[in-house]
Amino acid sequence: MDCMQNFISNINKMTAKYDFHCHSTASDGSLSPAELIQRAAQQQITLIALTDHDTISGLVLAQQAALENNLTLINGIELSVTWHKHAIHIVGLNIQPNSDILMTGIAQLQHIRHQRVSKIAEKLEKNHIVGVYQAMAILGEKTLITRSHFARFLVSEGYVQNEQQAFDHYLGQGKCAYVATEWATLAEVMDWIHQAGGVAVLAHPLRYHFSATLMRRLLTEFKNLGGVGIEVVSGRYQIDDIRRCAEYAQKFNLAASVGSDFHTPANPWIELGRLAALPTELTPIWTYF
């Protein structure tokens, strides 16, 4: 632990390039854990967290690749939460993947995901989409299925032109194949992360389109439950977005995290580690690792 802290504070001094939010084929990324780490190394990233949706199954291969490519991998996960009927995401960083409590929690979320896959497939088939069940059964053998996988299927079969259209026409909230889902509660996932020795970070805070009041409620609750960080620099955030999130960080005394939410090289707008610098007045999340 001390060793890790020294290492991290050293690379901090060297102005390391880092990324604490990205996905592999263990969930809805298109690169395998090893390919993802190789890409991170090519991007001169020195410190990275792999944060697949509701699974840690990519971490072992990612750790191997990190060793081979001379960069440091923080074990991470992005957990699905239902908070006051809204789906939100909490990133757990520096978790011990062998934690029983975390593993039991993840199994619960994976069970919910499996059930949801059948329900979404059923709705799609009712809407004249053919072969969804079979495609998802094959995919499901090696990956944890998300709506992104359905979106890619709809694109590859020519039902829509791109993933955004798949969400707009079929998978998004209120659309014909949308399935309202009760994920874990905020209190539950915070507990799992803490029991696994990790720190909890609110992912992509602006993606939820919450009012200022709702955001205050969320951050108050998150902080009371032991939340440590908030993503201040995320994916395609512009300077105004960063400023808004930096204000939340300061107001709620939260550390600032940085994560691209990289899923695929096919999206030219988001690259691993290609992120704005953190505002200097904020406490960086890695001081908590």
Among left, alpha and beta (phi > 0; psi -120 to 50; other), residue 204 is left
The residue within the footprint of ligand AMP, chosen from 53, 123, 152, 194 (CB under 6 A), is: 53
| Number of amino acids touching ligand AMP (CB under 6 A) | 11
143 near ligand AMP, rule: CB under 6 A? no
Q: How far is CA 155 from CA 129, 169, 180, 253, in A?
A: 12, 12, 23, 43
Identify whether the C-beta of residue 84 lies closer than 8 Å to the C-beta of residue 220: no
Identify whether the C-beta of residue 21 lies closer than 8 Å to the C-beta of residue 273: no
Q: Which amino acid is at 141?
A: E
**Least distance to ligand AMP, CB of residue 283, Å:** 27
| 3-class secondary structure, 194 | helix
Only segment of 59-67, 93-101, 159-167, 246-254 that touches ligand AMP (CB under 6 A) = 159-167
Only segment of 1-9, 12-20, 30-38, 140-148 that touches ligand AMP (CB under 6 A) = 140-148
**Least distance to Mn ion, CB of residue 239, Å:** 22
What tokens were used for 225?
A: 């439950």
**Least distance to ligand AMP, CB of residue 11, Å:** 28
The residue (of 28 and 54) whose beta carbon lies closer to Mn ion is 28
Identify whether the C-beta of residue 23 lies closer than 8 Å to the C-beta of residue 53: yes
146 near ligand AMP, rule: CB under 6 A? yes
**Which residues neighbour 219 within 8 Å (Cβ) at sequence distance 6 or greater?**
202, 227, 230, 248, 251, 252, 254
| Nearest alpha carbon to residue 173 among 110, 82, 101 | 82
The residue (of 125 and 188) whose beta carbon lies closer to Mn ion is 188
The residue (of 146 and 257) whose beta carbon lies closer to ligand AMP is 146
Nearest residue (beta carbon) to Mn ion = 89
The residue (of 26 and 203) whose beta carbon lies closer to Mn ion is 203
Residues that bind Mn ion (CB under 5 A): 28, 78, 89, 203, 261
Residues that bind ligand AMP (CB under 6 A): 28, 53, 80, 146-148, 163-164, 167, 172, 263
